[in-house]
């Protein structure tokens, strides 16, 4: 605001007042929608809801909160809801219920990044539990080597491969968890939903065989069972939540530069203005 005011020879208050009169609105829905939320701390709400069009890399709207009743009311006002073909989201059951209710003809897609993250969390939980059993020096070594363990095997250097081999030799549980995680990468490399269905079925059977040893994978296994249809849809859908996640990162920069924006309308204007520029 100060920079704009200085360049136009007006006060900062005047620049803010003019900016507050800008009214961005969205009057239609596109064929591909992406849902997400971000921590905005604006307008008395901790989280705000963002709606984007990943096909055209455009932010459609920012809503003041993520309350389901308000989201239902917002989407219900659009007469063109049936033109929406894809709705892409993280694995949030409330948003899935929202999409099913508001976009009955759309294909719901679970974003691949959030799918892989479920397996990563399970593996990380195994690592954390195992390193607690070690003496102080070894525990710190495992903690420092976290990034090496999280790397894909084909991306490891020769030295890192030796590190991983040494660490896996110490813990049987970690070794099996590492194998399960790597097998899941093969699922995600499937060329379409048909191939992914077969590979995911095999992976699920593997996990079932190790659940007694690796209970940390139980939540992951249940999530994939409940979200199987939406996960498989992601292999036939050419879009992801990547653009939306990128927008959320830019929103964090806006917040940081402004030391936070309490007024939601001004925050929304700032986001939409910046993303349209």
Instruction: Tokens for 270, please give them.
Output: 């700032």
pLDDT reported for residue 277? 57
pLDDT reported for residue 143? 86
pLDDT reported for residue 85? 97
Domain ranges of the chain: 2-111+239-276, 112-233
Q: How far is CA 222 from the centre of its chain?
A: 19
CA distances from 23 to 18, 19, 61 (A): 11, 9, 12
Question: Can you tell me whether residue 119 is helix, strand or coil?
Answer: helix
pLDDT reported for residue 2? 82
pLDDT reported for residue 276? 72
Instruction: Tokens for 116, please give them.
Output: 């892989």
Answer positive or negative: Cα dihedral of 192, 197, 198, 203: positive
Give the CATH superfamily of 2-111+239-276.
Ribonuclease H-like superfamily/Ribonuclease H (3.30.420.10)
Chunked into runs of 10 residues, the chain (277 residues) has average pLDDT values of 87 86 87 96 95 96 96 95 96 96 97 96 95 88 89 93 92 96 96 97 96 96 97 97 95 89 90 81
Q: Which of 260, 230, 237 is nearest to 91 (CA)?
A: 230
> Cα(272)–Cα(259) distance, rounded to whole angstroms?
18
Helices (H), the chain: 2-8, 12-20, 68-76, 93-102, 112-131, 136-144, 146-150, 158-170, 172-188, 193-210, 218-226, 228-233, 242-258, 264-276
């Amino acid at each position: 605001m100060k920079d704009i005011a200085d360049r136009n020879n007006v006060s900062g208050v005047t620049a803010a007042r003019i900016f507050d009169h800008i009214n961005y609105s969205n009057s239609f829905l596109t064929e591909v929608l992406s849902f997400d939320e971000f921590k905005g701390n604006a307008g008395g709400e901790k989280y705000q809801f963002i709606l984007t069009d990943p096909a055209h890399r455009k932010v459609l709207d920012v809503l003041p909160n993520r309350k389901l009743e308000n989201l239902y009311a917002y989407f219900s006002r659009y007469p063109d809801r049936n033109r929406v073909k894809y709705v892409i989201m993280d694995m949030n059951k409330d948003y899935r219920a929202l999409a099913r209710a508001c976009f009955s003809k759309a294909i719901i897609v679970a974003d691949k990044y959030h799918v892989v993250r479920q397996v990563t969390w399970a593996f990380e939980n195994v690592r954390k539990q195992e390193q607690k059993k070690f003496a102080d020096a070894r525990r710190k070594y495992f903690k420092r080597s976290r990034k090496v363990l999280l790397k894909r095997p084909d991306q490891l250097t020769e030295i890192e491969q030796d590190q991983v081999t040494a660490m896996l030799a110490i813990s049987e549980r970690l070794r099996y968890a590492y194998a399960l995680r790597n097998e899941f990468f093969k699922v995600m490399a499937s060329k379409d939903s048909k191939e992914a269905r077969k590979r995911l079925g095999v992976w699920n059977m593997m996990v079932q065989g190790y659940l007694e040893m690796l209970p940390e994978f139980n939540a992951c296994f249940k999530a994939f069972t409940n979200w199987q249809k939406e996960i498989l849809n992601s292999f036939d859908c050419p879009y992801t939540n990547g653009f939306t996640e990128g927008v959320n990162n830019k929103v964090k920069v806006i917040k940081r530069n402004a030391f936070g924006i309490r007024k939601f309308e001004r925050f929304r204007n700032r986001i939409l203005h910046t993303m349209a520029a």
